[in-house]
């Protein structure tokens, strides 16, 4: 079991005389009990700030379905399961605001739903956006792969409805092949996403690391803790599947829980910096009266008036 956050339980130490901010993150060896601890702390965060579930997560699956319907131009029934499974690929990026809320509560700061958008001001937000784009590309490739597998099994003829679709998939040899091929392909995509992003976004938020360094650290975490990370991937898959069953509404609870728990998993598996980098100061916004609204849009006009 990992020791409390401060300190190093792995025996790996920063070389003497080397600045902590320039050293590679030290990885702990964790166990299944640490996964339970991360989930418990994530649930406590969710209970403390529950309102963000609607803002960040309810629209998340809905927009995915609407986008697929708009782009593909036909029924998304064959893609419901691939889309639900694909949420695991985008989840690490979609939970950015949740990491910020957990970080605030960890420091003892007040946290509200609106504080989640402060992650947009992070110095490493550009790196987060880059890695998020990579995960989005992985998601698109997964959906295209799932569609290709379905076409290979049943052709382009759409199912007449849910009963017809269920009959095709569950009672025919083509459906059984579809399940086997689809699950195998989905497993590979999920492993890739897990390896490159399991702690990447929390690391970038916490240490302002670059995307490449964050992905390398995630790969190191998986390599040092293969069984716990495999168990974590299974937990994520089971919870997402359970949350998708009642018309995806359960994701409004599952995604925040996993987002907060991912932050605490990061704390369990990566040793904190001995000399953390100071947070950059944020400039205070000058309050301006509403009567100056048109002029407020043109800052150079205000300077000339002074």
Q: Domain tally for the chain?
A: 1
Lowest-confidence pick of 45-49, 52-56, 149-153: 52-56
pLDDT of residue 90: 85
Mean pLDDT over 241-255 rounds to 75
DSSP letter, residue 74: S
**Structural domain containing residue 256:** 28-274
Check whether 261 has a pLDDT greater than 90: yes
| Residue pointed to by tokens 């990370």 | 229
Q: Whose CA is closest to 28, among 7, 3, 10?
A: 10
Residue 10 lies in a domain: no
Check whether 300 has a pLDDT greater than 80: no
Q: Are 201 and 128 in contact (CB under 8 A)?
A: yes
Residue 6 lies in a domain: no
Mean pLDDT over 59-75 rounds to 55
Q: Is 47 exposed, middle or buried (0-12, 13-18, 19+ CB in 10 A)?
A: exposed
Q: Are 102 and 45 in contact (CB under 8 A)?
A: yes
Lowest-confidence pick of 125-129, 208-212, 302-306: 302-306
Residue 180 lies in a domain: yes
pLDDT band at 12 (very low <50, low <70, confident <90, very high): very low
- Sign of the torsion angle spanned by Cα atoms 103, 107, 113, 116: negative
Mean pLDDT over 83-106 rounds to 85
Determine the Cα–Cα distance for residues 153 and 175; give it in Å rounded to an integer: 7
Determine the Cα–Cα distance for residues 106 and 102; give it in Å rounded to an integer: 6
pLDDT of residue 170: 85
Residue 235 lies in a domain: yes
Lowest-confidence pick of 12-16, 113-117, 173-177: 12-16
For residue range 183-206, list pLDDT tens digits in order.
Answer: 899 899 999 999 999 999 999 999
Check whether 164 has a pLDDT greater than 90: no
pLDDT of residue 298: 47
Check whether 218 has a pLDDT greater than 70: yes
pTM of the predicted structure, to 2 decimals: 0.74
Mean pLDDT over 234-246 rounds to 82
Determine the Cα–Cα distance for residues 126 and 214; give it in Å rounded to an integer: 13
pLDDT of residue 22: 52
Mean pLDDT over 270-298 rounds to 56
For residue range 116-154, list pLDDT tens digits in order.
Answer: 778 888 888 999 999 999 999 999 999 899 989 988 888
Determine the Cα–Cα distance for residues 61 and 87; give it in Å rounded to an integer: 8
pLDDT of residue 221: 96
| Residue pointed to by tokens 């990579």 | 134
Residue 297 lies in a domain: no
Average of per-residue pLDDT values in the chain? 77
Q: Are 76 and 65 in contact (CB under 8 A)?
A: yes
Q: What percent of the chain has pLDDT over 90?
A: 33
Residue 247 lies in a domain: yes
Alpha helices per DSSP H over 225-285: 226-244, 251-269
Q: Are 45 and 260 in contact (CB under 8 A)?
A: yes
Residue 76 lies in a domain: yes
Check whether 167 has a pLDDT greater than 60: yes
Determine the Cα–Cα distance for residues 37 and 222; give it in Å rounded to an integer: 18
Residue 115 lies in a domain: yes
Dig out the tokens for 304 from the structure.
Answer: 């000339």
The half-sphere exposure of 117 on its side-chain side, counting CA atoms within 13 A, is 3
């Amino acid at each position: 079991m990992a020791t409390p956050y401060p300190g190093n339980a792995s025996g790996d130490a920063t070389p003497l005389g080397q600045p902590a901010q320039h050293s590679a993150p030290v990885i702990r060896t964790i166990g299944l009990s640490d996964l339970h601890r991360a989930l418990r702390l994530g649930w406590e965060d969710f209970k403390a700030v529950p309102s963000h579930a609607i803002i960040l997560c309810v629209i998340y699956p809905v927009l995915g379905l609407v986008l697929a319907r708009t782009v593909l131009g036909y029924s998304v029934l064959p893609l419901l399961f691939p889309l639900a499974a694909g949420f695991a690929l985008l989840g690490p990026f979609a939970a950015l605001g949740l990491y910020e809320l957990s970080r605030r509560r960890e420091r003892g700061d007040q946290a509200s739903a609106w504080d989640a958008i402060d992650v947009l001001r992070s110095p490493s937000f550009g790196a987060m956006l880059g890695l998020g784009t990579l995960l989005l590309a992985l998601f698109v490739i997964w959906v295209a792969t799932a569609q290709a597998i379905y076409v290979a099994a049943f052709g382009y003829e759409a199912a007449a409805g849910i009963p017809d679709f269920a009959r095709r998939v569950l009672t025919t040899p083509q459906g059984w092949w579809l399940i086997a091929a689809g699950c195998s392909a989905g497993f590979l995509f999920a492993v890739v996403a897990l390896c490159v992003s399991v702690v990447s976004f929390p690391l970038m938020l916490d240490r302002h690391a670059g995307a490449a360094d964050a992905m390398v650290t995630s790969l190191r975490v998986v390599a040092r803790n293969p069984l716990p990370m495999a168990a974590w991937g299974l937990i994520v898959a089971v919870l997402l599947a359970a949350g998708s069953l009642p018309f995806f509404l359960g994701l409004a609870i599952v995604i925040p829980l996993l987002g907060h728990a991912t932050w605490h998993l990061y704390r369990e598996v990566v040793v904190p910096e001995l000399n953390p980098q100071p947070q950059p100061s944020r400039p205070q916004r000058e309050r301006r009266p509403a009567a100056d609204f048109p002029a407020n849009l043109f800052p150079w006009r205000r300077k000339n008036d002074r």
